[in-house]
Structure 1
């Protein structure tokens, strides 16, 4: 029987945080809980960075160090090692966004290959992650999704994208490291899905190495998952799937409205929750064919996963089931799950402070817009501060 008060254990949740770490976290979430403050802070930070004002030290010692592991892989090592003392693995996420040139795409591949080599030497790092648009222009994914013909030059460019995917998946298979490929906007996602499936057919023949991402705020994704599962059964490969709710909701709805097509996003939060839980149930019912990385900060979905695993006799350490949360958030979920013996990994963003700012700003805005997320963090931090005082 799953203990429903598991995530209330703040002693386990914050065991790695010193008193000053707790105070900083409380201060940050208090700031993030105010929408006007987030807006002002975002504008001021962007201005300061563009004007080359000396603010990187301040950013580094506050928001950056809370949500990021460091500026490079080596810088992240103390964080990785510390987490692993509590049984929590790390997924290094090179969070530099918005690149557009072939040189930048080649550099991104080199970075991921380097991280895979890095993972090979460390038990604490069994998984890597990248974004499809980290390896090629958004425009090409969109054009392919819209079934428009490529020019000769674009076809050559697309083939280079495929080669980048292959280089990463090939080395990952050789080193036995799992690869999570992030989901992005719906109007480019079909092309990314096709590429992910192509990689699964090549590299997931014995076990899941390549994972696509299922964004459950899209109402069509459960059908996509079932169709992919059928193709996998017919063609002899395993499916790897990271399931998340999704990160581009406002952008998706706005575009659908502007262009006059039906929004791909579920109409209500409840419909998204139901979709996520249905996808989770489907995967755990087919655990020998589909591996899952459960990427959620939602307590109910985590409890459901634990209950489904128990009722289906799935071992806590089964490598086809991983739980994941972002570094700096939902420690009450991550560390308590790890303490219970489940496979848990934290996504650890890293990169130069200036380049990672778009990621950090998105994090702050997401926290502000997700009702209850920030107040839950604050109440848990408060409870732990009080527990230590007593």
Structure 2
């Protein structure tokens, strides 16, 4: 079998024109300046709130790089482009931070509209949802404070809540059930995003509850997102598997490293409790790779999504599948990277026969600003990320010039 190499830039950037490649080069160069990113991520949300004329600049730079479009129709054009290279799409309706029952109901309808659209397309096997898109953060926080350490496995109850909050929670569960039922009918998978640690137990619990109902007969509809930059998540993955195995449903596990590290550490220090974050990157890498090994060892009972920008972890997953004589396109294995990042991984996995998707957010510019700010901060703070992206882009520009 041919080896998969992440150094092949011809595969990686075949979908990008020379102009698009130069724009990406400029953007990643800019994100290499931490002070620029620091002030940009502070001032951009403020400029949007003040309705300053910055939309055009945002659209032509960071939005174009990391987001599919403002509407589902715009995003369909990007999805079709990726499909030509064997890359699927995970659609993400970028709603964050809009509270109120009317907004929650609207978000639920939008999630279902996206699911129905995905079900009509050949290359959109999965969509992503955030429980905070249709549930009040304060309610999730209160339930988390009332929960026990094992409630993430067992399923959530409304014990300890007042009558009004119990009714509010019942509406949250009903929304989640509608979304998952729609996905099951459309034969589309639902990835439940990870949240902050102080609401994650509640998110885990409702996700396990939905898996128990919908992940039957060897088919995964619902996936939980497990952040291995938390020191307790490898144990959580194994505990979740034990519960799923005992109850007879398929565990859906999307393995990521994590997205809220600075916020988590700051809160832990401010409130004087032990940080939930791993002591260093090597510990995160170790647990991530151990998580991969565990899932592939139990691949008949776990549907795995390798959601990683780490080249070693992706190659490890490929090697583990081959060592067990499993096909790279095993129905319980899927690879994924964010749109606009790590094209060298995505497109070379696709060329090697692996099922792989780009996580593709869409929504009005104002709604996806929180997502865009995280992407800018991540590329600025993750050691070597921007340098690797830039070196690959430069290599491809030079290769094209040499033709």
TM-score (norm: length of structure 2): 0.94
1:283 aligns with 2:282: no
Counterpart position of 1:264: 276
Counterpart position of 1:218: 230
Counterpart position of 2:126: 127
1:332 aligns with 2:344: yes
1:319 aligns with 2:319: no
1:370 aligns with 2:369: no
Instruction: State which of 166, 189, 194 in structure 1 corresponds to 2:200.
Output: 189
1:229 aligns with 2:241: yes
1:3 aligns with 2:14: no
Over 3 Å counting, the alpha-carbon distance change for 1:76 and 1:160 in structure 2 is: same
Stretches (4+) displaced over 6 A: none
After TM superposition, list the pairs within 5 Å mapping 1:1-390 onto structure 2.
3=3, 6-147=5-146, 149-206=160-217, 207-390=219-402
The worse-fitting range, judged by mean Cα deviation, of 260-269 and 108-117 is 260-269
CA–CA distance in structure 1, aligned partners of residues 102 and 227 of structure 2: 30
1:2 to partner: Cα distance:
6.7
Counterpart position of 2:155: none
1:56 to partner: Cα distance:
1.2
TM-score (norm: length of structure 1): 0.97
CA–CA distance in structure 2, aligned partners of residues 202 and 41 of structure 1: 44
CA–CA distance in structure 1, aligned partners of residues 49 and 207 of structure 2: 36
1:14-59 deviations in Å (ceiling 9; x for gaps): 0011000010000000000101111232344234322322221221
Question: SS at the partner of 1:96?
Answer: coil
Ranges in structure 1 where 5+ consecutive residues have no aligned partner? none
CA–CA distance in structure 2, aligned partners of residues 332 and 65 of structure 1: 19
CA–CA distance in structure 2, aligned partners of residues 366 and 242 of structure 1: 19
CA–CA distance in structure 1, aligned partners of residues 39 and 54 of structure 2: 15
1:150 to partner: Cα distance:
1.2
CA–CA distance in structure 1, aligned partners of residues 327 and 3 of structure 2: 17
Counterpart position of 2:157: none
Question: SS at the partner of 1:379?
Answer: helix
1:9 to partner: Cα distance:
0.2
CA–CA distance in structure 2, aligned partners of residues 261 and 47 of structure 1: 31
Question: SS at the partner of 1:146?
Answer: helix
CA–CA distance in structure 2, aligned partners of residues 122 and 78 of structure 1: 12
1:293-321 deviations in Å (ceiling 9; x for gaps): 11110001001011001101221111211
Work out whether residues 2 and 303 of structure 1, in 8 Å CA contact, stay in contact via their aligned partners in 2.
no
Question: SS at the partner of 2:316?
Answer: helix
1:193-228 deviations in Å (ceiling 9; x for gaps): 110111011001111111011110111111111111
Work out whether residues 144 and 200 of structure 2, in 8 Å CA contact, stay in contact via their aligned partners in 1.
yes
1:325-353 deviations in Å (ceiling 9; x for gaps): 00000000000000111010001111101
CA–CA distance in structure 2, aligned partners of residues 123 and 279 of structure 1: 30
Q: What is the RMSD computed on CA atoms of the aligned residues? A: 1.2
Question: SS at the partner of 1:7?
Answer: coil
